[in-house]
C-alpha cells in the first residue's frame, strides 16, 4: 500500500431515520467518517456513453480507503459517499481478504 496515492478527501455519510412532528419518518444523512482515499475509474473515462441507442451514465468509481474498526459494519443500504461535491451510492464493499488494511468501495454517482 502506497500511502502517497491516498490523495483525495471523501466523507462517508450514514442515513439516520428521524421522525418529524406529525409522525412521518425521513432519512437524514449525517457525516459518519472522513478520510483520504485513492480513486480509480476502472479504466473508463466516465460521463455518458451511447449503448444500443440509449444514453447510459458510466460514472462508476472505486474508492480505496484505509481500514478502521469504525467501518467494519459498513452497509450499502445506509451509507453513501460525498466526493468533490457529488454524491455516490455504495454498490459493493470489498474487505480485501479481511486483512484489516484497506477497503474498496465500489460506487456509482447518485441520481438526484
Tens-level pLDDT at each residue, the chain (112 residues): 688 889 999 999 999 999 999 999 999 999 999 999 999 987 555 555 555 566 655 578 999 999 999 999 999 999 999 999 999 999 999 999 889 999 999 999 988 7
Q: Which fold has domain 7-109?
A: Thrombin, subunit H (2.40.10)
Q: Which pLDDT value is given to residue 51? A: 54
Q: Which pLDDT value is given to residue 85? A: 92
Is pTM beyond 0.85 here?
no
Domain boundaries, the chain: 7-109
d(CA 40, CA 14): 23
Q: Which pLDDT value is given to residue 55? A: 60
Q: Report whether 69 contacts 11 (CB < 8 A).
A: no
Q: Which pLDDT value is given to residue 57? A: 59
Give the per-residue SS3 of 48-102: EEEECCEEEECCEEEEEEECCHHHCCCCCCCEEEEECCEEEEEEEEECCCCCCCE
Q: Which pLDDT value is given to residue 3? A: 83
Amino acid at each position: 500500500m502506497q500511502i502517497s496515492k491516498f490523495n483525495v478527501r471523501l466523507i462517508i455519510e450514514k442515513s439516520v431515520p428521524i421522525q418529524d412532528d406529525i409522525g412521518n419518518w425521513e432519512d437524514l444523512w449525517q457525516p459518519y467518517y472522513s478520510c483520504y482515499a485513492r480513486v480509480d475509474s476502472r479504466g473508463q473515462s466516465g460521463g455518458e456513453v451511447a449503448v444500443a441507442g440509449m444514453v447510459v451514465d458510466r460514472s462508476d468509481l472505486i474508492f480505496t480507503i484505509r481500514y478502521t474498526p469504525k467501518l467494519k459494519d459498513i452497509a450499502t443500504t445506509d451509507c453513501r459517499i460525498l466526493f468533490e461535491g457529488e454524491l455516490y451510492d455504495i454498490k459493493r464493499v470489498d474487505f480485501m481478504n479481511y486483512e484489516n488494511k484497506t477497503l474498496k468501495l465500489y460506487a456509482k454517482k447518485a441520481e438526484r
